[in-house]
Structure 1
Amino acid sequence: MLKKFQNDETLAEAVSDQIESLLQKKPDALICIAGGETPLKTMAELVRRNKKGKIDFSKAYFVGLDEWVGLGRETKGSCRQTLYDYFYDQLDNVQPDHICFFDGKASDLDTECKRIDTFIEERGGIDFILLGVGMNGHIGFNEPGVPVDVNAHVVDLDDVTKKVMSKYFDQDLPLTNGISLGMKQIEQAKEIVVAATGAKKAEIIERTIQSEPTTEIPATLLKNAPNTQFFVDQEAGARV
């Protein structure tokens, strides 16, 4: 299902409405919010509602979507830095041990993947996931050609991802891998919102909406899930 919004603010309000409604029904829901630029407005809106007492995150659980292999919170632009600085640390009453985030600097990445998998499985899966879509259609670090039947895994970064990643960092970083939830876990989430904002996302949104599900455009795979909604602002949705 495709929904168009006037701008990124109204889109963020709609996502926040869904999360607010979910937590009223299930206070201990497991929520996943992507890093990157697109979700920042939603994070800000959720923090605003939390400060006003409209949303209570005290029983909620959170799991990270992905991380650049080799990076930790100290690197500006890492997924951990974004989520903690703009969201988790801004919330009132969130429980630190309710947050499970990939450690991009872990010495054993397979064990790190299993740790994330276990956290999700113990909570019966993800209740709500907010995703962005990459310029190449990637979801998290599930790049074109991704296997569809895996849980958390390590990924070789696509050339397109390597080209655009400089926007996140204030230094040149020789990053070659990501660690990410797998498409299997993502597709099994009970509510999925794929958000895109800005004119630069218009082409990939057009390709995603008009293409049959294919691993070459990972975002299209989410069309197989009956609980997926694509949220776009006017600019990102200009071609659909």
Structure 2
Amino acid sequence: MDVLRAKNESHWIKQINEWVEAHMASFDSPLVHLPAGDTPASLYAEWDEHRPEFLNKARFQQVDDIVTGSQKGLFQRFFQKSLPSYGEQFHPLGDEPLASQVAILGVGLNGHIAFHEPHIPLNFNYGCVPLAEKTKAHLHMQGPVWGLTYGVGHFIKTNAVLVLARGEAKTEIIQKILTGSSEALPVAELAKKGKVTLMISDEIRI
């Protein structure tokens, strides 16, 4: 597993762009899976403002969304707001998964990717899952809530995966990934079996 470290915000965006462009190059119309949230927000702002040429041939799909309750479709709305100029290049989440050539993923403090939480079997591929209590609290939701998500079983088969981690709070989980923790963490399983590059911000001390 390769590890990239960003020195500052502009370096963060530059390295991600270089990685994405390099791994898209061998495909005519690659499907790129994208995460919602704060971690990639500055990247998406850069993409929408400057429209880098290498993204013109890309197709996109979000990696997860909420499918029940008052926040249903929250992440779809996030992408409509964050990447409005790419709307025609997005594929909606559906009943069946789409094979991705390139994926960008965030990592949670408990080692989850998308809505693939640690209590879900590590070979989970795609489908509906109940959201964990911590996840619901983070999203300010209560009661039973379900999400539709891709999982480790899918991304192990992806040609190239970039896992993003930023902020000092992610130090512990990144250390577990790099030391080969025996814990049943989705992100650690992906790092062991997938074609993964880890991109970390300078605040993470390893």
Do the two structures share a fold, i.e. TM-score over 0.5? yes
List gaps (5 residues or longer) in structure 2: none
The Cα of 1:162 is off from its aligned counterpart by 2.3
Aligned to 2:202: 234
> Aligned residue for 1:107?
none
2:66–2:148 Cα contact (<8 Å) kept? yes
Asked whether the equivalents of residues 137 and 143 of structure 1 are also in contact (C-alpha less than 8 Å), the reply is yes
- 1:100: how far off? 1.9
Question: Is the CA contact 2:44–2:82 (under 8 Å) kept in the aligned structure 1?
Answer: yes
Are 1:4 and 2:2 counterparts? no
Q: TM-score, normalised by structure 1?
A: 0.75
Distance in structure 1 (CA, Å) of the matches to 2:61 and 2:148:
13
* Deviation, structure 1 residue 174: 4.1
Shift, 1:222, TM fit? 1.4
| TM-score in terms of structure 2 length | 0.86
Counterpart-to-counterpart distance in 2, 1:44 and 1:227: 27
1:213–1:219 CA distance, 2 compared to 1 (3 A): farther
CA distance in 2, matches of 1:85, 1:213: 39
Deviation for aligned residue 1:37: 0.8
Contact 2:130 2:144 in 1 (8 A): no
Distance 2:128 2:118 in 1: 14
Q: Secondary structure at the match of 1:161?
A: helix
Question: What is the CA-CA distance between 1:38 and the residue it aligns to?
Answer: 0.5
- Check if 1:42 corresponds to 2:16: no
Q: Counterpart of 2:53 in 1: which secondary structure? A: coil
Match of 1:80 in 2: 76
Secondary structure in structure 2 of the residue aligned to 1:32 = strand
Q: Which runs of 5+ in 1 are unaligned?
A: 103-111, 167-171
> Which SS does the other structure have where 2:178 is aligned?
helix
Matched, 1:113 2:86: no
| Aligned partner of residue 153 in structure 1, secondary structure | strand
- Alpha-carbon deviation of 1:188? 1.1
Tell me, what secondary structure is at the counterpart of 2:112? coil
The corresponding residue for 2:90 is 99
What's the Cα RMSD here? 2.2
Superposed CA deviations along residues 10-31 of structure 1, whole A, max 9, x for unmatched, are 1222111222334444241110
* Residues 69 and 175, structure 1, Cα contact 8 Å, conserved in 2: no
User: Could you tell me how far 1:72 is from its partner in structure 2?
Assistant: 4.1
Counterpart of 1:139 (choices 113, 121, 126) is 113
